Amino acid sequence: MAVAFDTGGADAVRKWIRPPEPIVVPPAFQAIMGWEPEQYAGAAAPAYPCLIDERHVVAELYDMPNVPMAVWIDERGRIVRPAEPAGATDGFRRMDRSTYTLPPDAIAAGRASRKLYVDAIRDWVRNGSASVYALSEDAARARIAGPSDTDALAAATFRLAQYLHERGDADRAKAYFEEARRLCPERWNFVRQALELEGTGNASGPQFVAALAALGSRNYYAPIEL
């Protein structure tokens, strides 16, 4: 199951999550996403459920500060692996923004990370709880910190900003979006959603690039512990 976090609702994401046919992605962007050409050649329109979470409730419940992220849940409804980047890495930060290309070593590392994660999922599908990638209940629980008081305040502030935006109060909405970002600057879902609501395309525009640059040596995606 896929979940899109977007306050803009169906109109904002329908063409991406339920396209009538696979979206054509230029080779340069396939490399940035960590896709092998063979993987992209096998792409198909999704047949699984694709939900739209306008309130970012799933992000709150499963502690997803960014996208793309994945949570493994077994047939009993148990979390086998808590939220983690779904094979995504920080390699895209080395992109030349004038040509939208990556250095060859960054492309290779990104593809290796994506393949490793996809192979881990396949191993779990085949072997279930016997998979070396399936965490025990204690190990999975140890990776779930739970929200801090600041996290809870930031989430409430973000929801208030969404409420105001939906009612056309753009100025007050912007103030609360900025406060949510100030409280939890590592919650990139807050950052990118606020930017996109200000203007289509802003979520990957100059302000987002500046926020990335401000990270310095810190990670955008947390390293995956497989």
User: What single string gives the DSSP state of each residue in 24-52?
Assistant: P--HHHHHHHT--HHHHHT-----S-EEE
Nearest C-alpha neighbor of 32 from the set 87, 74, 75:
87
Spatial neighbors of 68 by CB under 8 A, at least 6 apart, are 85, 86, 87, 88
Same-domain status, 44 and 89: yes
Give the pLDDT of residue 158: 94
Beta bridge partners of 2: 50
Say if residues 100 and 29 touch (Cβ distance below 8 Å): yes
Which of the listed residues 142, 174, 202 is the one where a domain comes to its end?
142
Q: Is residue 223 part of a domain?
A: no
Q: Is residue 109 part of a domain?
A: yes
Instruction: Count Cβ atoms below 10 Å from residue 195 Cβ, excluding itself.
Output: 20
DSSP run (H or E) holding 216: none
User: Which stretches of 75-123 are assigned E, i.e. beta strand?
Assistant: 79-85
Q: Is residue 222 part of a domain?
A: no
Same-domain status, 106 and 170: no
Q: Is residue 204 part of a domain?
A: yes
The model's pTM:
0.89
Residue 15: pLDDT band with limits 50, 70, 90: confident
Question: At residue 106, what is the residue type?
Answer: A
Q: Is residue 138 part of a domain?
A: yes
pLDDT digits (tens, 9 = 90+) for 134-182: 999 999 999 998 889 999 999 999 999 999 999 999 999 999 999 999 9
Same-domain status, 27 and 57: yes
Tokens standing for residue 96: 């030349």
Same-domain status, 33 and 130: yes
Tell me which residue range forms the domain holding 169.
149-213
Which of the listed residues 142, 165, 193 is the one where a domain comes to its end?
142
Structural domains of the chain, count? 2
Q: Is residue 225 part of a domain?
A: no
